[in-house]
A and B are shown apart, each in its own frame.
Chain A
Amino acid sequence: DIQMTQSPSSLSASIGDRVTITCRASQRISDYLNWYQQKPGKAPRLLIFAASSLQSGVPSRFSGSGFGTDFTLTISSLQPEDFATYYCQQSYGIPRTFGQGTKVDIK
């Protein structure tokens, strides 16, 4: 199985901050990497697919980059509605696997 490791597991940030979350795959996965946002009691929401493609309707302050084993999700200017947990997920192999999540809360 392909293991996905996110860092950090949690972070505290202020409105307007630039936030970066990293995700590392245990083997090369090309650009088969997706990012999701989840708020408490809600279903996850797709933010980025294929490492860097912005899902329709997602604000442009979200961006993704990376290829191979190392990937990054960046929020350019954190907004109040961005406080949530973020997950990366690989779709290169079966089983599909997720990172453990990164919780972003208010500093």
Chain B
Amino acid sequence: EVQLLESGGGLVQPGGSLRLSCAASGFSFTNNAMSWVRQAPGKGLQWVSSISGSGVNTFYADSVKGRFMISRDTSKNMVYLQMNSLRVEDTAVYFCAKVPQVRGDPFEYWGQGILVTVSS
């Protein structure tokens, strides 16, 4: 059974930092890209970042480029999102998602999400 479990969220002041973690299990970790998608309160879904199965290629939304960094540890089956220079508008539930090597590159499985609140 595929499981994705996010952790590391919480309340942080504007300008602060936070590192989200996603523990993956139940599938071949290196054969899947991984992504972070967020949802601000009452709003729609917004893609944040993706990392290839090898970890070599990373991609970011313009709104987080230069502030967030995605990484993965294949020895631990973990994906991370280091978030720096946080802004109020980064407040959202952050989901970790598995992206298999199939046509369409869908976000196949999602974690339950973790809330990040940026506020003074």
Contacts and interface: CB of A to CB of B under 8 A. Distances in A.
Contacts of B109: 46
Interface residues on A, range: 20 to 34
A96 interface: yes
A95 B61 contact: yes
A72 to B, nearest CB: 16
A100 B42 CA distance: 11
Main secondary structure of the interface of B (DSSP, over half): loop
A46 B108 contact: yes
A100 B107 contact: no
A25 B6 CA distance: 31
Contacts of A50: 102-104, 106
B44 A89 contact: no
24 contacts: A31-B103, A31-B104, A36-B107, A38-B45, A43-B111, A43-B112, A44-B45, A44-B107, A46-B106, A50-B102, A50-B104, A53-B103, A53-B104, A55-B108, A87-B44, A89-B106, A94-B59, A96-B35, A96-B50, A97-B47, A98-B44, A98-B46, A98-B47, A101-B44
**Closest 9 interchain pairs by CB?**
A50-B104, A43-B110, A96-B47, A49-B106, A49-B104, A91-B105, A34-B106, A50-B103, A98-B45
Interface of A: 31-34, 36, 38, 42-46, 49-51, 53, 55, 87, 89, 91, 94-101
Given A49-B102, A50-B103, A96-B47, 9 more contacts: A36-B45, A49-B104, A50-B104, A51-B104, A53-B103, A55-B108, A91-B104, A97-B47, A98-B44
